[in-house]
């Protein structure tokens, strides 16, 4: 029995080499990005609690936009991965063009919303206990940081379009290198502009925003230059800008899959923002403590998030290559691997929980609360990993409408209303509320495993799409 279970859930060395070849570059890129983001947060936190709180709120709002872009890129990315798996480079090119078009529309909408409703959105998080001076200062810092960060949305969006397509085509190292260069630039300018070293002005949180914008332009430059200088390794880029033509039938197919995914990511991010807003009702200190907790959590979470991306890419390619049995076996082993490593990573995170908040220049009450939040997040990491793996499995076969109900619907209909009820009606304290809101994802895991077991996700969505080459010079 042990041998049978081992064969079912654990792969051989070749399997893990293949899986890690995809996951590790993504993990390194995201890990370095989150690590520098953590240093960014710590640097701003050393300046003062008000600036740290303002930056945290602005980043929560930007997070909603980022997830909307992620959903749009990922929807087309499902087709990109399967087209690549079937050897259809024209299809990959069409998926890339779709990303550019949909992300342009979302960027215009996003910038407009942030400019028109910036103060109203920020004030949603500043209604807890806090002095008028603290609230006014945090509002000012948040608006300043948000407005500067808007300059970096265009390079961020273009980077997602290029990097996502490169990963779908097996080129995972290039986005990783671009990410490393970007975060080094970010760290360098953070040091110079936040504290004012080497004759630069000490701009505090505004300096952190400027550094982020510069880093995003650098990251885009690296990804774009490499892609356009290596057309043989990136056939999709040849003639990609000759026109924005996408076959009508394919455009409608991608839209049908993308809209639920984009709406899902946006609503999920909005749900998480509302969850943070519910937490903020427990006091001004909770906003700062939650920011500290999420900062370190983002660094440790890169492992299971990268594994989720790997599941989407690897399983999607197998489905596109008409290998459903291999896709099922690979998916099961990847899910088990993702959850297993999170038990170890969660243990490490819990061990460092009391140490990390001490770095911040803030009150002892905030540090103590942040420690409790970090421990709760660490203990619940395997649950989050399983839910994430189920989500990417369902998405790999194009079941984006199902992922909508599985993911954002669950958060918006269950988690957020539960948090609001426990906050405003029951009057529960923040620590047990934080724990309950993490544990409700157990239900999501159960639903996800049932749907995976039924095999409703096993679907080749690009079957029958011919590789009709466009008439292009140089192809």
In a domain, 119, yes or no: yes
Mean pLDDT calculated for residue range 260-289: 78
pLDDT digits (tens, 9 = 90+) for 207-260: 888 998 999 999 999 999 999 998 888 888 888 888 888 888 888 888 887 887
Mean pLDDT calculated for residue range 267-292: 78
- Residue 308's domain comprises 8-454
Distance of CA 445 to CAs 273, 289, 335, 442, Å?
Answer: 21, 27, 12, 5
Other CB atoms within a 10 A radius of the CB of residue 372 amount to: 18
pLDDT digits (tens, 9 = 90+) for 339-349: 998 999 999 99
Mean pLDDT calculated for residue range 369-396: 89
pLDDT digits (tens, 9 = 90+) for 60-85: 788 778 878 888 888 788 888 778 87
In a domain, 463, yes or no: no
In a domain, 183, yes or no: yes
Which range has the top average pLDDT, 26-40, 353-367, 378-392, 409-423?
378-392
In a domain, 469, yes or no: no
Other CB atoms within a 10 A radius of the CB of residue 322 amount to: 12
Note if the pTM is more than 0.75: no
In a domain, 459, yes or no: no
In a domain, 462, yes or no: no
* Residue recorded with tokens 């600036």: 51
In a domain, 90, yes or no: yes
Distance of CA 426 to CAs 369, 422, 433, Å?
Answer: 21, 5, 10
Q: What is the pLDDT of residue 470?
A: 44
Total domains in the chain come to 1
């Amino acid at each position: 029995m042990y041998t049978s279970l081992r064969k079912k859930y654990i792969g051989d060395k070749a399997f893990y080499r293949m899986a890690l070849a995809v996951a590790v570059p993504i993990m390194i890129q995201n890990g370095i990005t989150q690590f520098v983001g953590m240093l960014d947060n710590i640097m701003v936190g050393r300046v003062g609690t008000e600036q740290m709180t303002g930056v945290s709120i602005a980043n929560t709002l930007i997070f909603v936009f980022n997830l909307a872009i992620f959903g749009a890129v990922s929807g087309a990315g499902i087709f990109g991965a399967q087209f690549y798996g079937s050897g259809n480079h024209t299809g990959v090119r069409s998926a890339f063009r779709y990303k550019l078009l949909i992300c342009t529309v979302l960027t215009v909408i996003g910038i407009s919303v942030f400019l028109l409703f910036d103060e109203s959105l920020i004030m949603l998080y500043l209604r807890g206990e806090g002095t008028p001076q603290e609230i006014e200062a945090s509002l000012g810092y948040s608006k300043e940081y948000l407005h500067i960060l808007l300059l970096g949305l265009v390079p961020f969006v273009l980077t997602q379009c290029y990097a996502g397509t490169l990963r779908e085509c097996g080129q995972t190292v290039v986005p990783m290198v671009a990410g490393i260069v970007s975060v080094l630039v970010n760290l360098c300018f953070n040091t110079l502009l936040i504290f004012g070293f080497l004759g630069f002005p000490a701009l505090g949180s505004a300096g952190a925003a400027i550094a982020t914008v510069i880093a995003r332009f650098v990251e885009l430059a690296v990804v774009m230059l490499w892609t356009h200088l290596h057309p043989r390794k990136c056939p999709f880029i040849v003639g990609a800008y000759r026109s924005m033509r996408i076959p009508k039938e394919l455009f409608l197919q991608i839209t049908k899959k993308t809209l639920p995914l984009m709406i899902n990511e946006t609503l999920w991010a909005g749900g998480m923002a509302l969850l943070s807003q519910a937490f903020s009702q427990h006091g001004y200190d909770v906003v700062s403590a939650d920011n500290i907790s999420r900062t370190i959590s983002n660094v440790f979470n890169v492992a299971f998030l990268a594994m989720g991306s790997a599941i989407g890419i690897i399983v999607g390619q197998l489905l596109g290559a008409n290998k459903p049995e291999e896709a099922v076996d690979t998916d099961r082993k990847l899910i088990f691997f993702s959850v297993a490593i999170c038990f170890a990573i969660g243990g490490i995170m819990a061990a460092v929980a009391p140490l990390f908040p001490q770095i911040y220049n803030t009150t002892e009450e905030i540090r103590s609360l942040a420690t409790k939040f970090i421990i709760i997040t660490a203990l619940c990491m395997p649950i989050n990993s399983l839910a994430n793996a189920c989500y990417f499995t369902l998405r790999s076969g194009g079941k984006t409408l199902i992922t909508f109900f599985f993911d954002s619907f669950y958060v918006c209909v269950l988690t957020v209303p539960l948090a609001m009820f426990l906050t405003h009606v029951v009057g529960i304290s923040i620590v047990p509320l934080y724990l309950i809101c993490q544990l409700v994802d157990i239900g999501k895991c159960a639903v996800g495993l049932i749907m995976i077991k039924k095999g409703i996700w096993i679907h080749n969505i690009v079957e029958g799409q011919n590789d009709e080459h466009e008439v292009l010079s140089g192809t």
